[in-house]
Amino acid sequence: MASDRKENFRTDSGIDIPPYLLPREGCGPAEHPGQYPFTRGVYSTMYRSRLWTMRMYAGFGTAEESNARYRYLLSQGVTGLSVAFDLPTQIGYDSDHPIAEGEVGKVGVAIDSLADIETLFDGIELQNVSTSMTINATASILLALYVALGRRQGADMTKLSGTVQNDILKEYAARGTYIYPPAPSMRLITDMFAWCSRELPSWNTISISGYHIREAGSTAVQEVAFTLSNAIAYTQAAVDAGLDVDTFAARLSFFFNIHNNFFEEVAKLRAARRMWSHIMKERFGARDPRSMMLRFHSQTAGSTLTAQQVETNIVRVGLQAAAAVLGGTQSLHTNGFDEALALPTENSARLALRTQQIVGYESGLADSVDPLAGSYYVEYLTDEIERLSLDYIARIDAMGGSVAAIEAGFIQNEIAQAAYEAQKRIESGDDVVVGVNRFHIDEPPFHDVLKVDDSLRTKQMARLASVKASRNAEAVRIGLAALSAAATSGENLMPHIIAAVESYATIGEISDTLRAIWGEYEE
């Protein structure tokens, strides 16, 4: 008998991979898609009725430049927009703040006020497009800006659809774009839950994100466990604030990363759906089946892309997209092959979109619901991911929940250790990364990359100065004073944030108003 080519076969989460599996009792769920516990998908017909939303993440430079990219993507068949914001916008500073120097428009679009949002969506009817915004600490302000523009367009607020990421716990654990301490940050989130349940019923008020946890180095099991633990914390906070679980839970959404270990990624998504349905029904007493559905966006893994032999990333993205679809995603972003080097060019963004379209229209993967159900291997992985993730959740519960676990550094340390172990396996050659630690070639530098002009900060600062000069300064003062009073009194903050942005108060001014009351979080 030939010997194995490796001593041990394991998934990225360390789950042992048997050489083969035989039928066993209870292998595979005896359930229909669209029914509790939703292992096989949240809708009965899935992609046989409608393909997932092809939502391409984009945003860079000024609002004018990003608007041109959005119009282009829509013309090429994108069915949903996804907005990337620059770092100053993410952490509540205007483009003219000293801390913003060197970062304006670099990793996303620069937004300072309603004037920028008006330009960003110029020619795009918000009522007719679903928009996702990857924003967390300032999510309430960006949603307020979107609502203000929707009102000016005469949109039916009950039909305005999209998502704000709004997941501050993973910022403390894995990413770092937080502003305020956890308690007031959680209040901003529950205020948004309450306001949107009344005023914006089609809006997803949070996208609880495993994506950035995985990008920081976690395993697939940790991604599921930490994401669902954060979701438990948000749900509990809303219930503690007096909200009935069935008034807001149906608008919770999730965001997962799709890595290269194909079958583990499919199983991860199936396990997460099943786990969340049980958590909502058994832990929180949800009665509405929609409250028990884990609906999610997914994105191919930026951390798997290589700068070496950059075209090989096209294959990685294709495999990851297929795994997302077989796992039952509701929307998908596929990365550009050049994103290990820079923001995607128009050409690489189009190719990434075409990858989704080929999977959807040519591959046959979307023609049957959960076609991998009953696979001995996939069902084994689904069960193992659920078991190991539940062990983590129990440990976090014993600490007092996600907030306490983050404050104790537990989640951060677990992610860091997993990242360290993964890097060791790459450096030792145990894990092969094509073009990086094996199969090298001599190649010239790849030059066809997007470059963001450093001079755009000057343009953005001039635009901001013009807005401040032309707005009603007294209306801004009154609006910010009302916001400050509401933050102190405990009143819902969303109406006051909307009023402030409608007077052209800036993101920095609103954030500073709340900083003055709540302070800033220091790790």
CATH number at residue 264: 3.20.20.240
- Kindly state the tokens that stand for 53: 């939303």
Q: How many domains does the chain have?
A: 2
Going by C-beta distance under 8 Å and a sequence separation of 6 or more, which residues neighbour residue 520? 179, 180, 181
Query: Do 364 and 498 fall within a single domain?
Result: no
pLDDT of 22 above 60: yes
With respect to residue 352, please indicate whether it lies within any of the assigned structural domains. Answer: yes
Query: Do 381 and 279 fall within a single domain?
Result: yes
- Kindly state the tokens that stand for 332: 């998908």
**CA-based end-to-end distance of the chain:** 55
Query: Do 472 and 367 fall within a single domain?
Result: no
Task: Please report how many Cα atoms fall inside a 13 Å half-sphere around the Cα of residue 507, on the Cβ side.
Answer: 36
pLDDT in tens, 424-462: 999 999 999 999 999 999 988 887 777 777 778 899 999
For the segment 389-409, the average pLDDT, to the nearest whole number, is: 96
For the segment 322-332, the average pLDDT, to the nearest whole number, is: 97
pLDDT in tens, 260-300: 999 999 999 999 999 999 999 999 999 999 999 999 999 99
How sure is the predictor about 328, in pLDDT bands with cuts at 50, 70 and 90? very high
**C-alpha distances out from residue 296 to 329, 394, 448, Å:** 6, 23, 33
Query: Do 483 and 346 fall within a single domain?
Result: no
Query: Do 240 and 384 fall within a single domain?
Result: yes
Query: Do 501 and 397 fall within a single domain?
Result: no
How sure is the predictor about 23, in pLDDT bands with cuts at 50, 70 and 90? low
Query: Do 70 and 174 fall within a single domain?
Result: yes
Tell me what pLDDT residue 3 has: 72
Query: Do 470 and 359 fall within a single domain?
Result: no
- Kindly state the tokens that stand for 401: 């929940």
Phi, psi of 211 (to 5 degrees): -55, -50
Closest CA to 309 of 496, 442, 425: 442
Tell me what pLDDT residue 2 has: 63
Domain that holds residue 178: 46-428
pLDDT of 320 above 90: yes
pLDDT of 39 above 60: yes
Tell me what pLDDT residue 332 has: 95
Query: Do 473 and 359 fall within a single domain?
Result: no
Query: Do 291 and 165 fall within a single domain?
Result: yes
Query: Do 424 and 467 fall within a single domain?
Result: no
Mean pLDDT across the chain, nearest whole number?
93
- Kindly state the tokens that stand for 42: 């949240």
